[in-house]
Structure 1
Amino acid sequence: MRYAIAVARTRHFGHAANECAVSQPALSQQIMMLETVCGTPLFDRLRSGVRLTPFGRDFVELAKAALSASEALDDFALRRKGKPNRPIRFGLIPTVAPYLLPEIFPALTDHLPDLKFIVSEARTESLLEGLGDGSLDIALIASDPPAGGPRLVTALLFEDAFVLATPSAEPTSEPVSLEKLPPDRILLLDEGHCFRDQTISACRLEGERSTRTFAATSLSTIVEFVANGQGVTLLPQIALRKEASDPRIAVHRLDDPHAGRQLALVWREGTPLGETFEAIGDVIRKSRPNAQA
């Protein structure tokens, strides 16, 4: 049922397999066995991915309810112990995971040796869906959870300020005024990334202007374009050690001290593991990387 829910959410067998930490053949085999038991397909296999059949839509909704009940039983049993008897399923957004994990994961292992983790990377919407259907225990995000979803506890971690990355050969005076940046030179992540929305807001690119800029799938791709003189971009402070080490890149302070994002841990309200998740948050705060410009 977890595999079916993951495929329904990602609309892709490979992405679902990565999210569930299994091989794609293993996940596909389990889905086929499930469809055999049900006597009908759950998914239509398309060239561009998969989509739920009408039966599959109903099945997934019932599966979510069944898994939620299973999670409730787990929670009931754990209330007396306050510690998980399985790995904690920890999701992070793509503009945080590659920069923060190398710092925090060793610290979590050292300070909380009794805990085991299954780590996954996904966009904010998918992480919140995972918290809602029970496939994730905690998530590290950089935006406020929208209303209407599961009731969540939010533990603030730290502010992650933005800086401007430009080609090093391009003269730029500091501090940089974002309002004066030519919109057509600002490189953005593609749709669905919260960092894209934060950049659009900081640079005031609302409306049609936000659709006229280049969109990439990762910050590393954008930085390579900047290094080749094809534009400028905002970078979060935690990404500087990895993304700004190229001598072709120059990093500049902004004149807006509020340009940045707030990183936070979120988990479902009422979980018996709240104290454990608070401890995880404390370790992350103490082990945050000191980014170097």
Structure 2
Amino acid sequence: MRYAVAVARTGHFGRAAEACAVSQPALSQQILTLENLCGTPLFDRLKSGVRLTPFGVEFITLAREAIKSADAVNVFALDRDGKPDRPLRFGLIPTVAPYLLPEIFPALAKAMPELKFTISENRTDALIAGLIDGSLDIALIGTEAPSNGPRLVSAELFDDPFVLATCRSEAVAAPVSLATVAPERILLLDEGHCFRDQTIAACRLDADPAGRTFAATSLSTIVEFVANGQGVTLLPQIALRKEANDPRIAIHSLATPGAGRRLSLVWREATPFGKTFAAIAELIRPSKIPTR
């Protein structure tokens, strides 16, 4: 299309080839290929040069708009060095957001002051759906990204081991073997949280045990029940500074093989901001979250 527009502008194959920095035979061949695709000539070949056919007039009008749009996409994707001119839509799972955001945002603001963010919390399946439908740019999750659907890039950040939280009045010898913990005493988040699924897997619980009626919407709620001696729970290490301050709570390490999760930053592979997202992951990756 660029060659055709150049021919229309100059009215001459030779001058169009010179303007496009290609040989005249190469340009002529491309114009012929384009005309074959269209099924009709774009130009009348005259002794003095070329002239647009009626079809060619309409084609060139549309081609100019298409080239203009393509150039705009090029500027959007490349000329701004892969950095967005709008706030980045950043989603995090609820068992990460309140504990990690206070640590990483000062570092991001210092290293990338030109970036702005809109933050949302949601469960993993909703975050992945947001990446797929374009309502989110990046998501911080604690499970592997799904392999079905659009290709996602997953940048591993760090491992987040689990510990056992009990009421301080309980006599517990650490490290604790999860096999020795009574299943009915383990308090869980409600369904849909990946941390719930990870706890069920680590403790080898029935996913829907009979008589289990408690299901919390947040770790803070669970910790309050634990503090009152109404059960025990697993906590991710990054949550300890916030959730283990209560003097009624005791934290116990787990016996080998233990349990944990790996946190990752995920984004769509088809994005012009991949380098920026990778840089964000690199800034998060070395963060050593205090445990107490």
Q: TM-score, normalised by structure 2?
A: 0.72
Distance (Å, rounded) in 2 between the aligned partners of 1:74 and 1:89: 20
Task: Please give the alpha-carbon distance, in whole angstroms, between the structure 2 residues aligned to 1:274 and 1:258.
Answer: 34
Q: Who is 1:221 aligned against?
A: 221
- Corresponding position of 1:264: 264
Question: Pairwise mapping of residues 3-14 of structure 1 onto structure 2 (< 5 A)?
Answer: none
C-alpha deviation, 1:148, in angstroms: 2.1
Counterpart of 2:200?
Answer: 200
Question: Structure 1, residues 172-203: CA drift from partner, whole Å, max 9, x if none?
Answer: 00110101111110000000000000000000
In the TM superposition, residue 75 of structure 1 has moved relative to its aligned partner by: 7.9
- Return the offset for 1:283: 1.0
- Single out whichever of 206-215 and 94-103 deviates more from structure 2: 206-215
Cα deviation for residue 206 of structure 1 reads 3.2
Residues 1:108 and 2:108 aligned together: yes
Equivalence for 1:65? none
For residues 186 and 162 of structure 1, what CA distance do their matches in structure 2 show?
A: 14
In the TM superposition, what are the counterparts of 1:129-144 in structure 2 within 5 Å? Answer: 129-144=129-144
SS at match of 1:188: coil
What is aligned with 2:152?
Answer: 152
Residue 77 of structure 2 is matched in structure 1 by 78
Residue in 1 that maps onto 2:164 = 164
CA distance in 2, matches of 1:75, 1:176: 57
Separation in 1 of the partners of 2:185 and 2:197? Answer: 16
Secondary structure in structure 2 of the residue aligned to 1:202: helix
Shift of 1:144: 1.1
Partner of 2:123: 123
Deviations 1:24-67 (A, max 9, x none): xxxxxxxxxxxxxxxxxxxxxxxxxxxxxxxxxxxxxxxxxxxx
C-alpha distance in 2, partners of 1:144/1:211? 31
Decide whether aligned partners of structure 1 residues 126 and 74 sit closer, same or farther in structure 2, where only a CA change above 3 A counts.
Answer: farther
**How big is the shift at 1:140?**
0.1
Paired with 1:288 and 1:272, the residues of 2 have a C-alpha distance of: 29
Cα distance, 1:207 vs structure 2: 4.5
Give the CA deviation at 1:146: 2.4
Query: Helix, strand or coil for the counterpart of 1:261?
Result: strand
Distance 2:97 2:192 in 1: 16
User: Partner of 2:231 in structure 1?
Assistant: 231
Structure 2 CA distance for partners of 1:178 and 1:74, relative to 1, 3 Å: farther
- Cα 1:211–1:286 change in 2 (3 A) is farther
Aligned to 1:34: none
CA distance in 1, matches of 2:74, 2:240: 40
User: CA offsets per residue over residues 65-121 of structure 1, 9 Å max, x none?
Assistant: xxxxx9xx8687223321111111100000000000011011110111111111111
The 3 A distance-change label for structure 1 pair 137 and 76 is: farther
Aligned to 2:191: 191
Letter in 2 for 1:219: L
Give the 3 Å change call, closer, same or farther, for CA 142–102 of structure 1 in structure 2. same
Please give the per-residue CA displacement for 1:246-284, whole angstroms capped at 9, x wherever unaligned: 000000010034410000000001212111011101111
SS at match of 1:209: coil
How big is each residue's C-alpha offset from its partner over 1:204-227, in whole Å with a ceiling of 9 and x where there is no partner? 003543872621000000000000
Counterparts of 2:186 and 2:210, CA distance in 1: 9
Matched, 1:279 2:269: no
5+ residue gaps, structure 1: 1-69
| Cα root mean square deviation, aligned | 1.9
- Residue 79 of structure 1 aligns to which amino acid in structure 2? L
Is the Cα contact below 8 Å between 2:165 and 2:249 reproduced in 1? yes
Q: Is the 1:186–1:213 Cα contact (8 Å) retained in structure 2? A: no
- Structure 1 stretch displaced more, 145-154 or 195-204: 145-154
Matched with 1:26 is none
Cα pair 2:152 2:266 within 8 Å, conserved: yes
> 1 CA distance for matches of 2:173 and 2:270?
50
Q: Check the 8 A contact 1:187/1:213 in 2, yes or no.
A: no
Task: Give 1 or 2 for the bigger CA radius of gyration.
Answer: 2
Following superposition, the deviation at residue 287 of structure 1 comes to: 2.9
